[in-house]
Amino acid sequence: MGIFDFLSGEFIDVIHWTDDTRDTMVWRFEREGHAIKYGAKLTVREGQAAVFVHEGQLADVFTPGLYMLETNNMPILTTLQHWDHGFKSPFKSEIYYVNTTRFNDLKWGTKNPIIVRDPEFGPVRLRAFGTYSVRVSDPARFLTEIVGTDGEFTMDEISYQIRNIIVQEFSRTIARAQIPVLDMAANTRELSKLVGKEIEAQLAEYGLAMPELYIENISLPPAVEEVMDKRSSMGVIGNLNEYMQFQAAEALGRDGGGAAAIQAGLGAGLGMQIGQAAATQAGPWGARPQAAAAAAAPPPPPPVEHVWHIAEGGKTTGPFSKAAMGRKATEGSLSRETYVWTPGQDGWQRAEDVTELAQLFTVLPPPPPAAS
């Protein structure tokens, strides 16, 4: 082997990159004077791409594999340089390694509340947060549009921009979806798919793709959640009078009186009831017992006026009063098969299955008078 062959072998470069930072997206191969020798070995591992930039112009993109940098496999660079320098560098180029694997468990969230119109609660403010993953789908475009000449580009440098895109599209999607606040927890998967589809084209302009987007939570303001908790508590308590009696009995037991105190309290209450019954039977100034009992009875509670929501074509409208529902039944826009819902009702039901609304379809006008 001659001295020329020896020197040529000594100066063959081995170009490769291994990354253990878990957040580096692009890394530039540093070579003094950017001089790359003829016949150098280029190693591109799975999950990587190598981009050659020659004199400021993007020349070649190498996918995973082992390459010998020679004229027969670098047609683009061959047109840019002459290969007549022996073991010296025949060309000077920059090599950028691009990480094409997924960057997972990235966080996003709404910095400020989003105001939406809920069919039941009216205007409400929502906050949301979740996670997403992103990867480089087009190394050449990503290098020219985002990285530029940065020698080491990390995920933190682009994550803020991606979060802004997600929040913007989430706000638009949640406003157009018109999903009730109480049903959003059951529709987070569909919302995630809608938001991901909306931002797909915008990320493609950066050479990026978003394989996964998750909405982990959609929350209301603390004051609204407190009111909803109280409302749920009232539903669990049920009969308020019985609950108050139970609380009083529990308090007597905690005060140390035990069963005797409870029995004494019950006995006192029974004695008061007997005395009231005797006074009622005697009646003031000879009044009849029936009249006295009627005077002592509390008035009945006023009837509860329900409001109704209508589901048609995957959308909800309302709320409507019973009078408005009657007009809709007369006009024909409300039929027996129309699905309706009112607060306190267990899911959506057809109008004919709701006793209060079924009457709207059974009341018919009397026959017209005979012609004279």
Instruction: Give pLDDT tens digits for 248-283.
Output: 777 776 655 555 544 544 454 555 555 565 555 555
**CA-CA distance, 156 to 150, in Å (whole number)?**
14
* Tens digit of each residue's pLDDT (9 = 90 or more) over 304-363: 677 878 888 778 887 888 888 888 888 878 888 888 888 878 888 888 888 777 777 775
Tokens of 127: 């906050």
Q: What pLDDT, on a 0 to 100 scale, did the predictor assign at position 263? A: 53
Q: What pLDDT, on a 0 to 100 scale, did the predictor assign at position 154? A: 93
Q: How do the domains of the chain map onto residue ranges?
A: 3-99, 103-224, 307-362
CATH fold group of domain 307-362: Dna Ligase; domain 1 (3.30.1490)
Q: What pLDDT, on a 0 to 100 scale, did the predictor assign at position 123? A: 86
The helix or strand, by DSSP H or E, that contains position 105, with its residue range, turns out to be: strand 103-109
Closest C-alpha among 155, 130, 136 to residue 63: 136
3-state helix, strand, coil in the chain (%, to 5): 45, 25, 30
Q: What pLDDT, on a 0 to 100 scale, did the predictor assign at position 346? A: 80
Q: What pLDDT, on a 0 to 100 scale, did the predictor assign at position 353? A: 84
Q: What pLDDT, on a 0 to 100 scale, did the predictor assign at position 156? A: 92
pLDDT < 70 positions in the chain = 1-12, 32-35, 38, 71-92, 231-240, 243, 253-304, 363-368, 370-372
Closest C-alpha among 163, 162, 187 to residue 174: 187
What contacts 179, CB < 8 A, 6 or more positions away? 187, 191
**CA-CA distance, 102 to 211, in Å (whole number)?**
8
Tokens of 165: 């895109």
Closest C-alpha among 141, 103, 134 to residue 23: 103
Closest C-alpha among 214, 213, 209, 196 to residue 100: 209
Q: What pLDDT, on a 0 to 100 scale, did the predictor assign at position 10? A: 43
| Domain range 103-224, CATH class | alpha beta
Alpha helix segments (H runs only) across 14-154: 75-80, 139-142
DSSP state of 298: P
- The phi and psi torsions of 251 (rounded to 5 degrees) equal -65, -40
What are the DSSP calls for 126-164, one per residue? EEEEEEEEEEES-HHHHIIIIITT-SEEETHHHHHHHHH
Q: What is the C-alpha end-to-end distance of the chain, expressed in Å?
A: 130
What is the reported pTM? 0.56
Contact (CB, 8 A) for 13 and 36: yes
Q: What pLDDT, on a 0 to 100 scale, did the predictor assign at position 56? A: 77
Q: Which amino acid, one-letter code, is at 358?
A: A
CA 53 and chain centroid, separation: 41
Query: Coil, strand or helix: which one is 267?
Result: helix
